[in-house]
A and B are shown apart, each in its own frame.
Chain A
Amino acid sequence: MSDDPRKKMKRCLLDLNRDALLDVVQAVVAEANPEAAQDAVDAIAEGLQIVGQRFQEGEWFLGELVYSGEIAKDAMERLSPLLKSGGAESEGKVVIGTVAGDLHDLGKSIFANYATSAGFEIVDLGVSVAVEDFVKAAREHQPIALGMSCLLTVSAGSVGKVLEELSRQGLREALKVIIGGAALTEEFAQEVGADAFAPDAVTGTDTIRAWSGE
């Protein structure tokens, strides 16, 4: 067994062994060394990348995706105060919500959970979010992306209304829009002019990560 804490943390995360991971994290925290803390954060981020790959390849499932995200969040909370910047650097801000007429929460929450553990700052507007509330949040938070979730076929029309209103108010060009949910498809995203469709939380997070690097 390797004693390299970086490898050990990654392994603990991938074994879904929360207690073991937090023991290693605690040892790093005890060192009070910002560089070691940064190494630990990087190791956890690498572990999450592997989690994402396993999920997308069908090797892991939503339950494991969610639990690994929770473990990673616990570890990050302990490590963040030690980092030079006084906290883990945010990958960027993302505004999300379920569209008007749709009260479903699960898919959006799983995305929020995974994206947060991957370093994004999530502004969650909740469910059945009115068009004007999406637009207001886009103006106020100036996120790198706006995410809309929609489980119901009957509320899919709300996605287009938000996009239209963003364009009308001159906010659309500077903002990437990503959509996801059971009622939506890649074709629908193209039809309404969204920038991307995400069938799952990992794809959504990867897409936004690529945008944040542009």
Chain B
Amino acid sequence: MNFKERMLTAMNHEEPDRVPVMGLIMDPATVDQVLGKNSTNVVKFLDKPVVGRAVQKLLDSNWFWDRMYFKNFSGALESATRLGFDANWAIYAFMQIYKGETNQKGAALNDVFGRVWTMGTDDRGNLSVDYSQALCPTEAAWEAWVEEKSALFDRVIRNATSFHQMLVDAHGDKIMPIGYAAPGIFENSWQAIGFVDFTKLVYENPQFIKRVVEFQTDFYLRYLEGVMQPGVEIVLGGDDLGQKTGPLMRPDLIEKLYGESYRRVADLVHSYGRKFVFHSCGKIYQFLDKFVDWGFDGIITMEPTADMDLGRVREQVGHKLVLIGNLDVSHLLVKGTRDEIDAAVKKAIQDAARGGGYILSAAHSHPYVDATRLQWMVESAHEHGRYPIRGS
């Protein structure tokens, strides 16, 4: 079987020749390690008087983001191919320099949805870009924002389509680029407003929240079509519904606010004959049955640090969902020994791979995930993941 047949067989809950291996976002630091490159972190130039202004201008241009995302994820797909992965998740985002006041230190960007992202540098000099501020804490602010940015929403979709097209054209014969439509409807709703204000508005102005969710759903469906247009066969949707100890919001409230939206998402993807895989961080056992009900084909991540156990998930959902994950990135794929990684891969395969419907991957990605350890993960998967799966 080739990589594509292997992935699609697993996605259909059938047994391929061996358990497929998939890469997550693949941080540029890990990509550099695989490719032997040394990328430049632009943040360190922002304080320089002349170069800083040039960098600011670059960060504010559509051209830069298109090029940067393609370069990063082309590198990620090349690295994933070299590591022996069958697929790798690619992500596109659209940013601009944020020119307003910010409550955080560091250079700030805003996205089209009304979030501020702060750019920083970690201990090792790696670039970090993290959500830090909501720009639309009130109904009036949100209405003004979406009106002002209406043309940009369409541009984001066009850019995402061409981004995925270029990746498919450049790498599609060697690895499956997994399309990514994100952030998702839940995150796009609350993060522009802020969690505290969003929660208040859910109770105090439900009609407004309903309008926000409808707007984000309509946008998201168009975005998904844009991502699928280049022939991406598996598309991932990302919405963090959980946190370390459980759901962010009551599952039946999520059902009430978002259930119909998620059903429309799954229906749309299926109408194109594609598969929809949902990413959520956190402890999300209470959503698993909803994922099945909403029509999702699979889930990715299942963070071990949020107490997500692959065997327990399989037991709960059986073969109603394809499971993709969940090797630890807090220790195992950062500093774990070869024996630890081998044992974890073996356990994951034993827990979830019988009958197909399982794809091995790291639980997440960050700059300290080590390429050598990813390589060990692949080698162990090839050793223990040949079907039929034996042992207990």
Contact = CB atoms under 8 A, between A and B. Distances in A.
Contact of B106 (A62, A105, A128): A128
A26 to B, nearest CB: 17
B367 interface: yes
B4 interface: no
Contact of A70 (B122, B131, B196, B253): B196
Interface stretch (A28-36, A138-146, A148-156, A168-176): A148-156
Contact of B366 (A67, A153, A199): A153
B34 to A, nearest CB: 18
A58 B286 CA distance: 10
Contacts of B122: 101, 152, 154-155
Nearest to B306: A182
B194 to A, nearest CB: 9
Contact of A183 (B104, B105, B253, B305): B305
A80 interface: no
A63 B250 contact: yes
B305 A182 contact: yes
B246 interface: yes
Given A62-B249, A127-B132, A183-B330, A103 B118 contact: yes
Contacts of A100: 123
Interface string A49-65: 00000000010111110
B248 to A, nearest CB: 5
A66 B126 CA distance: 33
Interface residues of B, number: 43
Given A61-B247, A67-B203, A103-B132, A109 B196 contact: yes
B58 interface: no
Majority SS at the chain A contact face? loop
A155 B203 contact: no
Contacts of A104: 130-131
Nearest to B367: A154
A179 to B, nearest CB: 13
B245 A200 contact: yes
Contact of B248 (A62, A102, A181, A185): A62
Contacts of A127: 104-105, 118, 132
A157 interface: yes
A11 interface: no
B123 A154 contact: yes
Contacts of B123: 100-101, 154-155, 157-158
B128 A101 contact: yes
B106 A103 contact: yes
Given A103-B130, A155-B122, A67 B329 contact: no
B120 interface: yes
A52 to B, nearest CB: 13
B8 interface: no
Nearest to A153: B330
Interface of A: 16, 18, 58, 60-64, 66-67, 70, 100-107, 109-110, 113, 126-128, 152-155, 157-158, 181-183, 185, 199-200
Interface of B: 103-106, 118, 120-124, 126, 128, 130-133, 195-196, 199-200, 202-204, 243-251, 253, 281, 303, 305-306, 329-330, 334, 366-368
Given A101-B123, A113-B196, A126-B103, 15 more contacts: A61-B250, A62-B248, A63-B250, A63-B253, A101-B120, A105-B133, A106-B195, A109-B195, A126-B105, A127-B105, A153-B334, A154-B368, A182-B306, A183-B305, A199-B245
7 contacts: A60-B250, A62-B249, A66-B196, A100-B123, A110-B195, A128-B105, A128-B120
